[in-house]
Amino acid sequence: MAVDKSHTPLWVKAVIWLVALSFVFGGVAFVGFGGSAGSTSTTGDATTDSSITAQYQPAVDAAVAALAADPENPDLLAFAGHRYFEWAVALYESGQQPASVPLWLAAVAYYDKALAITPDDVVVLGNKGFALAYANDPAAADALRAFIAADVDDTTGQVANATELLSTLAVTPSASATESAPTTP
């Protein structure tokens, strides 16, 4: 069952476009005035954390604000989860794996709410599985299996990544999920 986005209110679409455009134009301004946006430290220091927070917090705030007006909208729930997911990826890739865990779990909380409404959304299922794996949560294996089973046609192109990650979890269930970098589906 796919989500019928044609019934999404116009104001919700406008908010999503506004957030997307703010990233595009905000990123240009950031590069122009602050140097290279891609030059973050991999040491996990507070400066890197604060610059990552400054980059991702506004998008999370906008997504949560949009969701406040329509808290049962599965598209907005997934959108909020995706913003937390992106923030977690940024922290994770900067070498701050422990700091990324609360963000992975926040993404999962929004994904769970979206899946309660649209249980067959393969993108949300996949992101939930990956987020749990990188948070080193014991529920990761079941979530990845659910994603693999739901995306039998590999519409997301992430089934191979999920299968590989699942095999890693199955081989070493207590191993840290920090062995490989996250893949954004």
Domain boundaries, the chain: 13-33+42-179
Cα separation of 100 and 173, whole Å?
20
Name residue 136's amino acid: N
Model pLDDT, residue 182: 57
Q: Describe the crossing of helices 10-34 and 46-69 by its angle, rounded to 10 degrees.
A: 160
Per-residue pLDDT of 63-91, as tens digits, reads 999 999 999 999 999 999 999 999 999 99
User: For the chain, how many residues are written?
Assistant: 185
CA distance 88 to 181: 11
pLDDT in tens, 31-60: 333 333 333 334 445 567 789 999 999 999
pLDDT band at 93 (very low <50, low <70, confident <90, very high): very high
pLDDT for the residue numbered 92: 95
Architecture of domain 13-33+42-179: Alpha Horseshoe (1.25)
Mean pLDDT for the chain? 79
